[in-house]
Structure formats: C-alpha cells, structure tokens
Amino acid sequence: MSYTKCWLAYAPMGGCHRERLTLACMEAGDVLEAARDELRRGLEGLYGASVETAAGHGDITLEVDPALEGEGYRVTADSGRCAIAGGTPVGVLYGVFALLRAVQLQACPWEQVRLEEEKNPSSCLRMLNHWDNMDGSIERGYAGNSFFFREDAVLVDEKRLTDYARMLASVGINAIVINNVNVKNAATWLITPRYFPQLRQYTRILGRYGVKLYLSVNFAAPMELGGLPSADPCDAAVLRWWKEKAAEVWAELPLLGGFLVKADSEGRPGPFTYGRTQADGANMLAQAVEPYGGHIIWRCFVYNCQQDWRDVKTDRACAGYNAFMPLDGQFRENVTLQIKNGPMDFQVREPVSPLIGSLRHTHIIVEFQIAQEYTGQQRHVCYLMPWFREILDTDLKTRPDNGTVAALIRGKGNGMAAVANTGDDENWTGHDLAAANLYGFGRLSYDTSLSPQQIAWEWLRQTFGQNPPVEQTLHQILMRSWPVYEKYTAPLGVGWMVNPNHHYGPNVDGYEYSRWGCYHRASFDGLGIDRSPTGSDYCHQYAEPLASLYASAETCPEELLLFFHHLPYDYRLKSGKTILQHIYDTHFEGAEEAAAFYDAVLHLKPYLDEAVFARLEARFAHQKAHACEWRDVINTYFYRKTGIPDGRGRTIYP
C-alpha cells in the first residue's frame, strides 16, 4: 500500500535555488549515515540542489561533540555555511531535522538561512505505545490495520518501517513499543525464538534513527511459555525463569530497550494474584533484565473494573494513587512507572493525576493518548497539543520550586509516552490533521516549552508547503478543535458520556450503570461526582493549595467543576449562567463551530491536493453531522431530566 510522506514531504520551495551543496561528516556509522541521507533528501527536495559529500570541510558539516548532551544538538547556519553538532550521532540526526525544519519555516534561499539553535531534550524517554495486536488489528486504532503485525506474523516492511522511523526521529521520539499492552495469544510469544529474527530487523531499522524497540510482555509468561505453576514474583523459580528469558532475549536482541507491563489491570495477570505488591512484580522483572541494561516500564492503570454502580463510596479516580503512593522509593533504578495524564482514562478533560506530583523517589513517564479514543477517533479533528500544554504547565505544588508536570518529567528514567495514532492507512493517521498530534507529541516530548501554536505552524508548513490559505485556515481549525470538541461532548469535566466499548458517539447513560467505575451521577437534583471531603475526597490526594482549590465548588476551575462536585442544574457559573444553560449553550456553540470548520475547509479546495481535499471534506462533513448528534442527545437528555427549556428558545428535541 502506498502512503503519504506526512511532514517529511520536502516539497520544493519556490524562489530559492542553488545547484550544488557540499556536505562533510567527520565520523562514520549507521546513524550518521542516516543523518546524511536525510539532509541530502531534504535539501535536494526543498532546493532542487544536489548535495555531495565532501572530504574535508563542506558547506555543511556534521560532527559529534561530546561536550553536548547525548541527544542534544547545536545548529548554526549563516551565509550558506552550516555546522550541525550532536552529543552522539543521534544528536546529529536531530540537528539535521532541526535544520530542515528551520529552512522550511524561513522559506528563503539557502544563503539567507540564519539559525543559532542549541537544544537538549526535556526528558530522557520519549515513547510511543502502539496497541497493535498480532492479528493485525489495532486496539483503539483509527487509521487502518497494523503495519507491524498480520495474522500472528511480524511484518518487516523495511521501506515503511524506515519512513516511520524517520518521522519519529524528526520529532525526537526515541522509543516505541510495537505490541498492545494487553498481551495475549501470539503476542506472549514475541520473546521467544519464533519472532527473534524479525525483531532483530526492527532493532536494526529503528536503531538507525535512534529509536529503541520495547516489547509489551505478559506477566504470566512463566506459566504460558514456561509451564510454571505460577507467576508469583516472589517465587525463586519465577525469577529464575525471567533471568533465563532475559539472557536469551538480549542475546538475540542486544539493542532491545526493555519491557512494558500492564499488570493487574482490566483482567491482565499481575502480582496481586499472589498477594504481592506492584513493586514486587516490577522489581523482579527489573532484576532479571538489569544485567543487559534492560528497562521495565510498569503501568499504573490499576483499578477495580468490577465496581458496583450502586457503590458511591468507591471512586476509581483514587485507585492509582492508592495503589502506588505507598510504594514510592521501593522500585529499582531501572523501573519507570507509567502514569496516565489523568486519574481516569484519557477523557477530553481531566485533572492531572496527583500521583505524578507525589512520587518523589520513583522514575515516571506520563502517558498521553494521541490515538483519539475519546476525542473523536480521528473522524473529528482534535488537535491535542493545547491540552497537553495545559497538562505540562500544571503545577502540582509538590516541589518547593517548580512542580509543573514539565519539570517533574525531567531527568534520568523519566519522560513522556503516548498511545500511538497510526495504522496502515495511506495517510498514516486516518484523518490527515491527526498527523499533527503525532508530530506535536514528539516535538513536545523533546521540548516541553514549545507552544501549540508554534507546533501547529511547523507541522502545517512542513506538511502542506508554503500555502497561506491552507496554513491560515487549518491553523485556526487546529487551535480551536479541542475546545470545540469539548463543547459538544460531556460538559465541565464530567466525562464518560460515550457509547460503551467502542467509545464513539454520545450515550449519556452508557457507563452509568456499568462495572467500570466511570459515572456522572446525573440525577433530578444535579450532576457530577462529589470528590470533595463530603464525597470520595479524591481532591485530598493533591497537595495544598490544590486540594482546597478543588475541594470547593467556588474555587474549583470551572472546566473541572463536575469532575469534583455534584451540583444542581441551576448552580450559577462565573458567567452568571446556570450549569444547565451552560450545557445548552456550549452544545449549540460547539455544533455551530464544527459546521464552520466544514465550511472553512470547503474553501480550501483550490489549494489542496485532490485526494487530501477529498479525505478532509469527508471527515469534516461527518464531524459536522456528528456534532449535531452529540448536541441533540446531550441537550435532550438534560431537558428530559429537568424540564427546563433553552433560555434562548433554540430547538431541543423532546
């Protein structure tokens, strides 16, 4: 299947030519060769110039400078001369992409490019988690099937894998997990000789672009593969089995990064089965992989998914903190806990998980989701960088100086991960604009100071070339897309008003009487979850002043009001509107804005490639209609609950 080049299109830039550029590289090696290839491809594409290797000094020089951080780079360009240095070859590669990005943003002749940029990555781990199943399907995949697996085989499509690795490296992503965290069936066998040859190819192809391969593993592998009677992490036989397994795996895959583990979560096996702690489980694996520099990433998505909806005391939001905070400091050096950005599960709006700020002696990765499971499934546009920006800027007040999430994920063993949004669709991400989330997540993980506006602009320019109408319209749409999506879906942070299982489309009571612990408690007297001290007191998992801020409806940020409080429909927001009228207004507005997106996209027809326009037109048309469905279902639901019509007399279906 053919596919687009996304933001690596290197479309020719009008008005700036030079026939020949020389390129000198001080050292050799696979990664540096990839850097040279990319630079050549980029400059040739952009300028139409031929790029030739020079022996000594050239117009451009690439060099490793051990004075820089390993994945840091320094690029200086002026008057047609450019020097790119990196702390390692990977740093050089990142510098190359930085230059190519700057060239496109400046859009001027080569001699006029001016750049003075030195960057070090904001965090060490910048990962993607693919939830690809070995049958070829993708859990929460909205862009076709897997390009890693099909019918229990590992595919080695060197061209596509290479292009994917180039995309990842271009934005600073340095690790991927290729298989679903729910490890079942054939995927359990990934750490056996059945798949080593293909995986070795993956480590080679990815490694050339500084991307480490990780694998999700099944905690019960000693039973399923080894025939042991248990997977008890405190059983010496189990540890021995994992030690032998690690020796075997790293002998075959010396470049492997490590394992990702979803344990005791939504039915997956884990240490709780044996009365052990999550630390017992993670440390046992960490001990096994330690001799090989292996790394264990352990997910914190542990909660009771068999809750009784009648039970209003139990609060799923509290679960992660309660399970992991008591273990702070007990994890081995090569363990990192992976914590979802919010305490629930990737809703369009959640508070930041308090666990992120409270762990002080434990490595952490904050997990985001660019697979748009709850944010329109890549049929609605929802550019997530404004949301991630807010998360990174949130100060959890657990450090004397800077307790922002961005600060907390600095340093060794820490980082950011995202559930990936790619598949084998022609455009990689289903919705063409969803690629902005892949690009943006990578950029933000490498440089947590970037603004969503900047990222969107970079991505648009590199994807569509110099195309002012497209750039302007789509930039506005991208920047409005998350607030608009939030408007026409679940209100004021309450979340979860979606169809169960597939999670697409409105269903207000969809999870209300379920076992999943995600309720909105909409009743005759109001809606929202009381997480203040009169309720589950989840708010006191936060440090002060956040705890008090969230504990009072008066001070709670309004976008999270119903996440923390159960309030009457006639409660007045700061706007002076009642909650009910706010729901009506935002839903009318959101649907109107979605319609305006569609109209704006229609105007881009003359400026877009035919196939790209056709894809965009279809998705925006669907979004426009589906936003009306959201609006009407939500509004009717609350009208039926309250009997109070819209204050402005708009149509709410009875």
Residues with Cβ within 8 Å of 217's Cβ and at least 6 positions away in sequence, in order, are 183, 188, 190, 191, 259, 260, 261, 285
Give the residue with the Cβ less far from a copy of itself, 325 or 633. Answer: 633
Q: What is the total count of residues that contact a copy of itself (CB under 8 A)?
A: 24
Asked whether position 525 contacts a copy of itself by CB under 8 A, the answer is yes
In 3-state terms the chain splits into helix, strand, coil percentages (rounded to 5) of 40, 15, 45
Residue 212's SS3 state is strand
Catalytic choice (232, 280, 345, 458): 345
Residue 63's SS3 state is strand
Residue with tokens 């943006």: 440
Asked whether position 567 contacts a copy of itself by CB under 8 A, the answer is no
Asked whether position 553 contacts a copy of itself by CB under 8 A, the answer is no
Q: At its nearest, how many Å lie between a copy of itself and the CB of residue 304? A: 18
Residue 359 CA from chain centroid, whole number? 21
Asked whether position 642 contacts a copy of itself by CB under 8 A, the answer is yes
The letter for the amino acid at 257 is: G
Which of 576, 643, 648, 649 lies at the binding interface for a copy of itself (CB under 8 A)?
643
Asked whether position 598 contacts a copy of itself by CB under 8 A, the answer is no
Give the residue with the Cβ less far from a copy of itself, 456 or 518. Answer: 518
Which of 152, 325, 636, 646 lies at the binding interface for a copy of itself (CB under 8 A)?
636
Asked whether position 314 contacts a copy of itself by CB under 8 A, the answer is no
Which of 524, 548, 570, 614 lies at the binding interface for a copy of itself (CB under 8 A)?
524
- Residue 493 sits at the vertex; the CA angle it makes with 490 and 496, to the nearest 5 degrees, is 45
Give the residue with the Cβ less far from a copy of itself, 192 or 507. Answer: 507
Binding piece for a copy of itself, criterion CB under 8 A, among 158-166, 337-345, 592-600, 637-645: 637-645
Give the residue with the Cβ less far from a copy of itself, 451 or 534. Answer: 534
- DSSP-derived pairing of the beta strands 73-78 and 115-119: antiparallel
Q: Concatenated DSSP letters for 353-408?
A: PHHHHH-SSSEEEEEEE-S-TTTTTTTS----HHHHHHHHH-B-S-SSS--BHHHH
Which of 52, 509, 544, 609 lies at the binding interface for a copy of itself (CB under 8 A)?
509
Give the residue with the Cβ less far from a copy of itself, 2 or 501. Answer: 501
Give the other-Cβ count within 10 Å of 184's Cβ.
13
Contact call for residues 206 and 175 (beta carbons, < 8 A): no
* Tokens found for residue 223: 């039973």
Give the other-Cβ count within 10 Å of 642's Cβ.
17
Q: At its nearest, how many Å lie between a copy of itself and the CB of residue 309? A: 8
**Distance (Å, whole) CA 291 – CA 434:** 40
Q: At its nearest, how many Å lie between a copy of itself and the CB of residue 589? A: 20
Asked whether position 412 contacts a copy of itself by CB under 8 A, the answer is no
**Distance (Å, whole) CA 592 – CA 158:** 45
Asked whether position 641 contacts a copy of itself by CB under 8 A, the answer is yes
- Write out 225-263 in H/E/C secondary structure: CCCCCCCCCCCHHHHHHHHHHHHHHHHHCCCCCEEEECC
Residues in the chain, how many? 654
Residues with Cβ within 8 Å of 390's Cβ and at least 6 positions away in sequence, in order, are none
Number of H helices, E strands in the chain: 18, 16
Residue 21's SS3 state is strand
Binding piece for a copy of itself, criterion CB under 8 A, among 126-134, 212-220, 503-511, 596-604: 503-511
Asked about 345 being catalytic, the answer comes back as yes
User: How far, in Å, are 463, 476, 483, 566 from residue 383 at the CA level?
Assistant: 15, 11, 9, 30
Asked whether position 507 contacts a copy of itself by CB under 8 A, the answer is yes
- DSSP-derived pairing of the beta strands 153-154 and 175-177: unpaired
Give the residue with the Cβ less far from a copy of itself, 557 or 645. Answer: 645
Which of 234, 407, 573, 633 lies at the binding interface for a copy of itself (CB under 8 A)?
633
- The site string for a copy of itself over 294-313 (x = CB under 8 A, - otherwise) reads ---------------xx-x-
Q: At its nearest, how many Å lie between a copy of itself and the CB of residue 592? A: 18
Asked whether position 44 contacts a copy of itself by CB under 8 A, the answer is no
Give the residue with the Cβ less far from a copy of itself, 209 or 639. Answer: 639
- DSSP-derived pairing of the beta strands 73-78 and 81-86: antiparallel
Burial environment of residue 163 by CB neighbours within 10 A (0 to 12, 13 to 18, 19 or more)? middle
Q: At its nearest, how many Å lie between a copy of itself and the CB of residue 524? A: 4
Helix (H) or strand (E) run with residue 557 in it? none
Catalytic choice (244, 266, 311, 509): 266
Contact call for residues 249 and 293 (beta carbons, < 8 A): no
Binding piece for a copy of itself, criterion CB under 8 A, among 404-412, 521-529, 532-540, 584-592: 521-529
Catalytic choice (264, 280, 373, 471): 373
Give the residue with the Cβ less far from a copy of itself, 266 or 513. Answer: 513
Contact call for residues 122 and 445 (beta carbons, < 8 A): yes
Binding piece for a copy of itself, criterion CB under 8 A, among 327-335, 468-476, 507-515, 610-618: 507-515
Asked whether position 454 contacts a copy of itself by CB under 8 A, the answer is no
Q: What is the DSSP letter of 417?
A: E
Contact call for residues 555 and 542 (beta carbons, < 8 A): no
Q: At its nearest, how many Å lie between a copy of itself and the CB of residue 501? A: 10
Give the residue with the Cβ less far from a copy of itself, 254 or 524. Answer: 524
Which of 238, 297, 456, 522 lies at the binding interface for a copy of itself (CB under 8 A)?
522
Q: At its nearest, how many Å lie between a copy of itself and the CB of residue 392? A: 37
Residues with Cβ within 8 Å of 481's Cβ and at least 6 positions away in sequence, in order, are 380, 381, 382, 383, 433, 597
Binding piece for a copy of itself, criterion CB under 8 A, among 220-228, 387-395, 607-615, 633-641: 633-641
Q: At its nearest, how many Å lie between a copy of itself and the CB of residue 590? A: 17
Q: Helix 89-106 crosses helix 452-464 at what angle (to 10 degrees)?
A: 80
Asked whether position 523 contacts a copy of itself by CB under 8 A, the answer is yes
Asked whether position 574 contacts a copy of itself by CB under 8 A, the answer is no
Asked whether position 508 contacts a copy of itself by CB under 8 A, the answer is yes
Which of 357, 506, 517, 590 lies at the binding interface for a copy of itself (CB under 8 A)?
506
User: Which of the residues 232 through 251 are near a copy of itself (CB under 8 A)?
Assistant: none
Binding piece for a copy of itself, criterion CB under 8 A, among 63-71, 118-126, 329-337, 628-636: 628-636
Asked whether position 534 contacts a copy of itself by CB under 8 A, the answer is no
Asked about 290 being catalytic, the answer comes back as no
Contacts with a copy of itself, residue ranges (CB under 8 A) = 309-310, 312, 506-509, 513, 521-525, 632-633, 636-637, 639-643, 653-654
Catalytic residues, by residue number, are 266, 345, 373
